């Protein structure tokens, strides 16, 4: 067996010497494959769920509700459902991966290598963004057969999809680090993510709400992600897309800083 124990690099050619880019990319690729290998559960299932919401809500309400001028309810609902799927699945990817790894003990395989906390954060974040975008694209691809889809400002839609999935990916890392048990993570999902996404204006415009609930919705950060994303499709929104983008970007920055700090201190990973 040929190896040089003194350097640890053995007789590998020079191109094979350790590269941090390779390390980060490998971790990202592992996290990508982790959800892609079970894509029936991680991609197809949420697409089907979104379709069911569309069929049930849109078809039962289409004669009664015209949320934006010239936009039928089904068309209004589709981007909201897509964004809801983006947010929920981006959160699920990082949170479940980290929590399960900690629970089973195989987290050790990503703690032993020489990752910086930035590389660790970016790999998990980008994999979450990837899953969110794949699911969102899947929802739109499925719903386009049922509704009249139009895209007025594609770049806005992409910007909010990226920012929103980034926010939820970072939040998922925090939840995954914090949770030591399945029910702790479920609490995050059931008491924070699910209610806030459902009450983010996915199914309605906030202007249809009584004034108190309208004002309260403005305190829901998820509202800005959904509203901004929908602006990309219809050129109409409940609040200014620039305000929404600023709030989402600020949220992403704050969450990222907090997550990086948790990783740097080894919170619940390195005792």
- Give counts: helices (H), strands (E), the chain: 13, 0
**What is the C-alpha separation between 123 and 119, in angstroms, rounded?**
6
Could you tell me the smallest distance in angstroms from the CB atom of residue 21 to another protein?
A: 8
CB 32 within 8 A of CB 134: no
Q: Which is nearer to another protein, 119 or 227 (CB)?
A: 119
Could you tell me the smallest distance in angstroms from the CB atom of residue 189 to another protein?
A: 21
* Alpha carbon distances (Å) from 211 to 200, 207, 268: 15, 8, 43
Q: Which is nearer to another protein, 24 or 203 (CB)?
A: 24
**What is the C-alpha separation between 160 and 249, in angstroms, rounded?**
9
**What is the C-alpha separation between 178 and 181, in angstroms, rounded?**
9
Q: Which is nearer to another protein, 100 or 236 (CB)?
A: 100
Could you tell me the smallest distance in angstroms from the CB atom of residue 154 to another protein?
A: 34
Q: Which is nearer to another protein, 21 or 155 (CB)?
A: 21
Could you tell me the smallest distance in angstroms from the CB atom of residue 37 to another protein?
A: 6
Q: Which is nearer to another protein, 32 or 146 (CB)?
A: 32
CB within 8 A of 19, min separation 6: which ones?
Answer: none
**What is the C-alpha separation between 187 and 265, in angstroms, rounded?**
24
Could you tell me the smallest distance in angstroms from the CB atom of residue 117 to another protein?
A: 10
Residues that bind another protein (CB under 8 A): 1, 3-10, 12, 15-23, 25-27, 29-30, 33-34, 37-38, 101, 104-106, 108-116, 266, 270-271
């Amino acid at each position: 067996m040929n190896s040089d124990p003194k350097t640890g690099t053995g007789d590998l050619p020079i191109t094979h010497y350790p590269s941090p880019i390779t390390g980060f990319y490998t971790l990202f690729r592992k996290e990508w494959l982790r959800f892609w290998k079970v894509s029936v559960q991680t991609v197809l299932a949420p697409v089907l769920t979104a379709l069911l919401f569309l069929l049930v809500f849109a078809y039962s309400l289409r004669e009664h509700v015209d949320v934006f001028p010239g936009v039928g309810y089904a068309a209004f609902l589709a981007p909201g459902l897509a964004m809801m799927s983006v947010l929920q699945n981006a959160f699920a990817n990082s949170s479940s991966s980290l929590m399960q790894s900690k629970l089973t003990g195989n987290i050790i395989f990503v703690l032993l290598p020489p990752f910086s906390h930035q590389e660790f954060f970016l790999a998990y974040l980008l994999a979450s963004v990837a899953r969110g975008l794949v699911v969102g694209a899947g929802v739109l691809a499925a719903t386009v057969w049922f509704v009249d889809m139009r895209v007025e400002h594609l770049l806005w839609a992409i910007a909010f999809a990226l920012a929103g999935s980034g926010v939820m990916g970072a939040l998922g890392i925090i939840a995954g680090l914090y949770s030591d048990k399945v029910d702790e993570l479920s609490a995050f999902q059931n008491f924070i993510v699910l209610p806030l996404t459902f009450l983010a204006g996915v199914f309605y415009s906030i202007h249809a709400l009584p004034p108190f609930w309208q004002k309260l919705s403005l305190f829901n950060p998820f509202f800005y992600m959904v509203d901004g994303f929908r602006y990309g499709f219809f050129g109409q929104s409940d609040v200014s897309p620039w305000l929404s983008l600023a709030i989402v970007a600020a949220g992403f920055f704050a969450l990222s800083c907090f997550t990086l700090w948790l990783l740097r201190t080894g919170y619940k990973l390195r005792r």
